Amino acid sequence: MTETPRPARAGQDAVAEQGRVCALAVRGVRDLQNVTAAHPELFDAAPFDPALLSSVATVVAFIAPWHTAAELRITTRTVLWVFAADWQVDYLAQSVDDVRQVVTDCLAVADGAVPPPGRHLARLLADLRDELATVPAFARLRPIWRDELARMLAAAAREWDWKNLPTDPTTGRRLPDLDRYLENADNSGSSFVNVTHWIATGDEKTLAQLTDLLDAGRGVQRVLRLVNDLATQKRDAEWGDLNALSLVDDPAQVHDRLAELTARSRGDLAALAERCPRQADYLNRQISFTGGFYQLSDFWGERDE
């Protein structure tokens, strides 16, 4: 009788590790359910479905699997906050004043203010700020955290302007070209999530490299922007979102730029790994996970009709 070959131990270990990471994601989902229950006004729209919560927790677990669920708590909550901010600006804001109010409220929270009643996005940000304040490094790194928040909000407001304000009579343009669009990739919130994650979890060696890490992360952020756009062109068109493919005459320009930016980021991260291997791996895993994820799915649920 021929014995069926047993899986290699390496394969068993890999599956066990994947199971552990999935368990991290499950813990993250349950925590995010608590967040949405505590802030129902922020998450009552159809796109904030259970799959979005699962996707958020899963991406964080897979890009930083060496952490515990408790260590990833602030990071995962911050990713969800970025989705809420995106929804508030892109889909709920009806005017420039609405957008500016979001920016003003959130920057005031970053500076220590208590959000007024009814400012639900700012209230959740205040919760994150207060939890992050329990981390010793936050006191000295708070200005950097605030700067990344400000960059994200300014970029989100700029994209709102591109989509909603009249064409500039001087230049004849309203929408940006591809270069300017990529320069505005801070609106994705990736860099803001990164700085929050590093402050919350990083040791002194990591925090000493924070400037270089943020520079490398901004390169990865541009890669993620294009990966997202290539996968979500139909949804972006339906929702009225900007997409890199709508800014060029030939889609090959976007594919070529993605290949160029990916190669550059991988090279930058290889150099960074000599000094900060774990965080270089964290950024590499963002590129790899996002590329795989968008082959089959999207984060957002279906939009209300």
Q: Give residue limits of the domains in the chain.
A: 95-294
Q: pLDDT value at position 168?
A: 61
By percentage, how much of the chain surpasses pLDDT 90? 84
Burial class (CB in 10 A: 0-12, 13-18, 19+), 193: buried
Structure-model confidence comparison of residues 186 and 167, the more confident one? 186
Q: How confident is the model at residue 53 (pLDDT cuts 50, 70, 90)?
A: very high
Is 244 in contact with 229 (CB distance < 8 Å)?
yes
Rounded distance between C-alpha atoms, residue 139 and residue 55, angstroms: 31
Q: In 10 A of CB 5, how many CB atoms?
A: 6
Is 152 in contact with 189 (CB distance < 8 Å)?
yes
Q: pLDDT value at position 6?
A: 55
> What would the two tokens of residue 28 be?
């993250």
Q: pLDDT value at position 1?
A: 43
Residue in the structure block whose two tokens are 């594919």: 255
Rounded distance between C-alpha atoms, residue 92 and residue 43, angstroms: 12
pLDDT at 10 over 70: no
Rounded distance between C-alpha atoms, residue 111 and residue 146, angstroms: 8
Q: Give Cα 186 to chain centroid, integer Å.
A: 9
Average the pLDDT over 40-56 and give the result: 94
Is 200 in contact with 144 (CB distance < 8 Å)?
no
Average the pLDDT over 231-255 and give the result: 94
First and final CA of the chain: distance in angstroms?
62
CATH class of this structure's domain 95-294: mainly alpha
Burial class (CB in 10 A: 0-12, 13-18, 19+), 100: middle
pLDDT at 76 over 50: yes
Burial class (CB in 10 A: 0-12, 13-18, 19+), 71: middle
Q: Which residues of 15-42 are buried (b: 16+ CB within 10 A; e: fewer)?
A: eeeeeebeebbebbbebbeebbeebeeb
By percentage, how much of the chain surpasses pLDDT 70? 93
Q: What is the DSSP string of 212-273?
A: HHHHHHHHHHHHHHHHHHHH-HHHHHHHT---GGGG-S-HHHHHHHHHHHHHHHHHHHHHHT
Burial class (CB in 10 A: 0-12, 13-18, 19+), 239: middle
Rounded distance between C-alpha atoms, residue 252 and residue 49, angstroms: 34
SS3 call for 81: helix
pLDDT digits over 178-195, tens only?
Answer: 999 999 999 999 999 999
